[in-house]
Chains A and B, each alone.
Chain A
Amino acid sequence: MSKPSVIRAVDLLVGYGGEPVCAPVSFVLPPGRVLALVGANGSGKSTVLRAVLGLIEPAGGSLQVLGRDVDEREVGFRTRVSSVLDDDAYFPALTVAEHLYLTARGHGVAGADDVVHELLAEFGLADHAESLPVALSSGQRRRLLLAAGLVRPRSLLVLDEPEQRLDVAMRDRLADRLVAEKQAGGAVLLATHDPDLLRACADRAVLIADDACRLLSPDDAAEALRPGVL
């Protein structure tokens, strides 16, 4: 019996004010797999991610996440779907560690202390655990968001260009993390411009474009990301 899907999108149309930003897209993401969305800047990758997260209403087609229509108001959805978008908002008075504790304890993670310490070390934030977000560099704030996406339980991890503002070593570590994620049975949907990250962790890719969206192998998608191709 085939594995049930975490995301099933059929002719999904996404956009703003009823106006689609890209061609209809269809894909299936089973558990234990990483699916990458690739495409030029402004092609609609982030908009597809926002539709999956229920932050915009699809303009057409059908979209199911965890076997249901998307409704981020449901507690079950929020329990199992973790996301890291390009948000750059923090509680000014909470330290780096406190942001992670808030997320972990808010999700009822038992042994939150160990998990937070582990992630702080993994993302190179241990020395900044007591720092306030205003004192962090843009790359450090990005790492804090990624750590927050991983400090909580999830069945689906949605990442919008997670490689942004990360150095090469941290990108490699992120790729290892995503491989571990799928090996543990989690599903990952990410939008990326990084061919190395794509080759390292993605099982399939979807090229998002105006005329038609196509399913590609990771190598073909990485090739499409070369300068001048898209």
Chain B
Amino acid sequence: MTTVEAPAIQPGKGLGGVPGPRSIRRFTAAVARTKAGASLGSVLNDAYYAAIMIAIGLGVALGVAGQLRASLPPQDDASLGDGISLPSLVAICAIAVIGAVLSLAGRLGPVGAEGAEATWWLGLPVDRRGLLRPASLRIPVLAGLVGGVLLALLDGGLLADHGIGHVLRLGALAALCCAAVVLLAGLAQSIQFPRRSVALIGDLVIALAPVLALVAAFTDWRLSALPDLPVWLLTVLALAVVGLGWAQDRRLGRIRGRNLRESGSVASQAAGAVVSLDSRELGRALSDASARQRRRRSLRLRLVRGPKTAIMVADLMVLLRSPRHLVQLVVSALVPVLVVVTPRLAGALGVGLAVLVSGYVGMLATAEGARRAEMAPILDRLLPMSAQATRRTRLLVPAIAMLLWSLVAFAAVGLWHGDPGSWIALGVVSTPVWAGAALRSAFRPAPNWQGPLVSTPAGALPGGVLAVLARGPDVAVLGLIPVIISVALGKVLLPVIAVQLVFSLIAWTVGASTNTKPLMERLMDQQDALEKSR
């Protein structure tokens, strides 16, 4: 092979030295700071508010966890019997957190160059490592902070009072593990290991966590306390993480430009969704990041017999072709099972929270088809069906999926109470509530940032945004009041099932409604229309 030296066109007076990557970064950042008018005072002010907000958040979380710990029965209570110990469950939760971190790291890159950086930086003949270094460290540090704080909260709040040293050491261990997982994902990215595969491994780790918990329950494997690693071992682990960081840094220049662009695009879409509190956009960003580019073959879709079945099959395909949502649905169904086999959590409060929270998480997974239809109603516009009929049809897939969820979750609660039949009946009857909430959440309008601010202890919050974000959870909580009452009573009464049926019909109707305006606004519109007609 001969190397061709094509004559280079050199604008200006020829070529001088190329600046270092750090000066390119600094120039861009300095200009941005100047234009934004960010003085040292305003930066300190923002840092102060951020620190205060974090401290308040941590304080509230610690308080809630402490209250929970106080309300739990003591660990050495002999009447608790067999099952998973709370430390075992926390350890398994830590595995799930690590899976979630890996899954997110795979979807986000973890190293990427966002739009402007990809266009204006990646073409420069400077060492890319220097350009990418801050971006490559951002996610490991963030993952470490979140993982560390989360496990420290669980240890300090939920488990026995071991003292601050134990909490800090456990938090450090979790932080190091989370950071290491992201750095490993970064190394995988540098050897062209597909991001989709990294995300899939993360999803599988999440799915493995409840299975491990069930195995622990049936084999009577119990942890009496979370491990307390000595400081020297933590130091060794920290050095290993630093080594991983160094190895990733050495290989940053080997990540291909297209990979950096894709990752940067996903990260910027996800960050935009988080800033604007748009969970639907966040879900789309994370799902599309790990979607296949093509499939081996296209299905003939023989089940489609008309517009209604077309929508149903489309929604079903969206769900079945998304491993993340399937894992979410399965894991959420197993959470109530785990709570009832964890003696210290198996009480009215623990079971109630488990049913509500895990049900809501599972429900979100079932409405992906509806969420996509809300963004781009391509199929809806093509099919000869009214908006109302389309919306009603879209309720079916979430309803079927949540029926399966209810069978598992309510069977577990029923077995715990010794009356599975009644509880399963209650679960089946309550299924339409989940479907209604799923549709209401999927078709909620964009957050309204122009509404009046509401004063809260955490500062002023835009009321319009909160009202929009509450669409979906409101139907779930209100529609499941009979279930909550049954959990509190510890038994299912026949009249409660009848009342639940009525609540479910109302929730189904609300979910099928195509009207997105709040009730008060609709009443005012009707009033205006009436006055005009006079």
Contacts and interface: CB of A to CB of B under 8 A. Distances in A.
B2 A4 contact: yes
Contacts, number: 154
B120 A55 contact: no
Contacts of B16: 108-110
Interface in B1-39: 1-4, 6-19, 24, 27-28, 31-32, 34-36
Given A93-B35, A114-B12, A107 B3 contact: no
Interface stretch (B111-119, B389-397, B420-428): B111-119
Interface of B: 1-4, 6-19, 24, 27-28, 31-32, 34-36, 114-116, 118-128, 253-258, 261, 292-294
The 4 closest A-B pairs by CB, nearest first: A89-B115, A17-B293, A67-B4, A111-B12
Contact of A153 (B8, B31, B128): B8
B2 A104 contact: no
Given A55-B258, A75-B125, A153 B9 contact: yes
B126 A106 contact: yes
Categorize the interface residue count of chain A. Answer: 35 or more
A195 interface: no
Interface of A: 4-6, 16-19, 31, 54-56, 64, 66-68, 72-73, 75-76, 78-80, 82-83, 87, 89-94, 98-99, 102-112, 114-115, 132, 148, 150-156, 181, 184-187
B4 A5 contact: yes
B15 A153 contact: yes
A152 B16 CA distance: 12
A89 B257 contact: no
The residue in A83, A90, A93, A181 that gathers the most chain B C-beta atoms within 10 A of its C-beta is: A93
B24 A155 contact: no
Contacts of A73: 128, 253-257
B28 A89 contact: no
24 contacts: A16-B294, A17-B294, A55-B257, A67-B2, A73-B254, A87-B119, A89-B116, A89-B119, A92-B32, A93-B34, A103-B120, A104-B11, A105-B19, A106-B19, A106-B125, A108-B15, A109-B11, A109-B15, A109-B16, A110-B12, A110-B13, A111-B12, A155-B6, A185-B7
Given A18-B294, A106-B126, A110-B13, A91 B8 contact: no
Contacts of B7: 31, 155, 184-186
A107 B120 CA distance: 11
A193 B462 CA distance: 49
Nearest to A55: B258
Contacts of A184: 7, 9
B6 A56 contact: no
A209 to B, nearest CB: 21
Contacts of A102: 24, 27-28, 120
A99 B28 CA distance: 9
Contacts of A54: 256-258
Contact of B258 (A5, A56, A105, A153): A56
B119 A79 contact: no
Contacts of A107: 15, 18, 124-125
A19 B292 CA distance: 13
Contacts of A78: 122-125
Contacts of B126: 75, 106
A149 B289 CA distance: 30
Nearest to A118: B11
The residue in A16, A80, A89, A98 that gathers the most chain B C-beta atoms within 10 A of its C-beta is: A89
